[in-house]
Amino acid sequence: DQQVKQNSPSLSVQEGRISILNCDYTNSMFDYFLWYKKYPAEGPTFLISISSIKDKNEDGRFTVFLNKSAKHLSLHIVPSQPGDSAVYFCAASGAGGGADGLTFGKGTHLIIQP
Amino acid sequence: DAGVIQSPRHEVTEMGQEVTLRCKPISGHNSLFWYRQTMMRGLELLIYFNNNVPIDDSGMPEDRFSAKMPNASFSTLKIQPSEPRDSAVYFCASREQGARGNEQFFGPGTRLTVL
């Protein structure tokens, strides 16, 4: 039973345009959502996170939107650059009151075309 | 800061052999996590420690898997005996106490192949 779903295995976007990556979740207890970026042969790298009490968080070219009623979040990258080509993972954590593990989606491979 | 360090980066072994994966978390981080990535199941949490104490090992697939954290700067994940289905990339991650948003820092991973 997948609690975090990324339904698009891959996405191709032209350089300079907006990339929108989507993520759905089923567990209403999740209180933080995170996006990670992963290059081949490397570990995931943290990009941006959002608390469940917010609906938007922005950091430079990256913005995450959260729609709690729809249990949906999205990552917007504007403008897209060639270095953004990677696999992006959506992750969520529960109300553990402390350290707890992340539940990951299966990732979306973003390809930025020149 | 060197980041999370994992060794070895690659391990090839034969079925039935014991495998030990090692992790050094970022200095000052008090939580440590072991994850496994496979094509079928993606990235999944195996076990995590808080202040060197195992908190949740419900993700450990079988008794063949065990993890220890003898001190704040070292953890091991052991598989004994190993099986071909254990082939995967194993990641270690650490987290700073009180970090908002549960941001975890990942190591480069150990690619395990069991023949």
Tens digit of each residue's pLDDT, chain B (115 residues) = 689 999 999 999 999 999 999 999 999 999 999 999 999 999 999 999 999 999 989 899 889 999 999 999 999 999 999 999 999 999 999 998 777 778 899 999 999 999 9
pLDDT value at residue A98: 52
pLDDT value at residue B34: 97
Q: Please, which residues have CB within 8 angstroms of residue A101's CB and are 6 or more apart in sequence?
A: A93, B33, B35, B45, B48, B56, B59
Q: How confident is the model at residue A100 (pLDDT cuts 50, 70, 90)?
A: confident
Inform me whether the C-beta atom of residue B34 falls under 8 Å from chain A C-beta atoms.
Answer: no
Q: Give how far A2 is from chain B: nearest CA, Å.
A: 9
Peptide bond into B61 cis (omega under 30): no
Residue A2 pLDDT more than 90? no
Choose among A41, A49, A101: nearest Cβ to B103: A49
What residues in A contact B109, CB-CB < 8 Å? 41-43
pLDDT value at residue B9: 97
pLDDT value at residue B97: 76
Question: In this complex, do B102 and A44 lie within 8 Å of one another by their Cβ atoms?
Answer: no
pLDDT value at residue A96: 55
Residue ranges of A 76-95 with Cβ closer than 8 A to chain B: 89, 93
pLDDT value at residue B62: 87
CB–CB of A82/A60 below 8 Å? no
Q: What is the mean pLDDT of residues A85-113?
A: 87
pLDDT value at residue B1: 65
pLDDT value at residue A94: 80
Q: How confident is the model at residue A1 (pLDDT cuts 50, 70, 90)?
A: confident
Residue ranges of B 46-105 with Cβ closer than 8 A to chain A: 48, 50, 55-56, 59, 91, 93, 95, 97, 100-105
Dihedral angle of Cα A27, A28, A31, A33, to the nearest 10 degrees? 50
Q: How far apart are alpha carbons B109 and B93 in whole angstroms?
A: 9
Which of B102, B103, B106 to probe the A interface (max A CBs under 10 A)? B102
Q: Give how far B5 is from chain A: nearest CA, Å.
A: 11
pLDDT value at residue A79: 98
Chain centroid to Cα B29, Å, comes to: 15
Inform me whether the C-beta atom of residue A99 falls under 8 Å from chain B C-beta atoms.
Answer: yes
Report chain A's mean pLDDT, rounded to a whole number: 94
Q: Give how far A92 is from chain B: nearest CA, Å.
A: 9
Question: In this complex, do A46 and B104 lie within 8 Å of one another by their Cβ atoms?
Answer: yes
| Tokens encoding B83 | 């099986």
What residues in A contact B30, CB-CB < 8 Å? 99
Tell me the per-residue pLDDT of A49-76, one tens digit each, with 9 for 90 and over: 999 999 999 999 999 999 999 999 999 9
Inform me whether the C-beta atom of residue B30 falls under 8 Å from chain A C-beta atoms.
Answer: yes
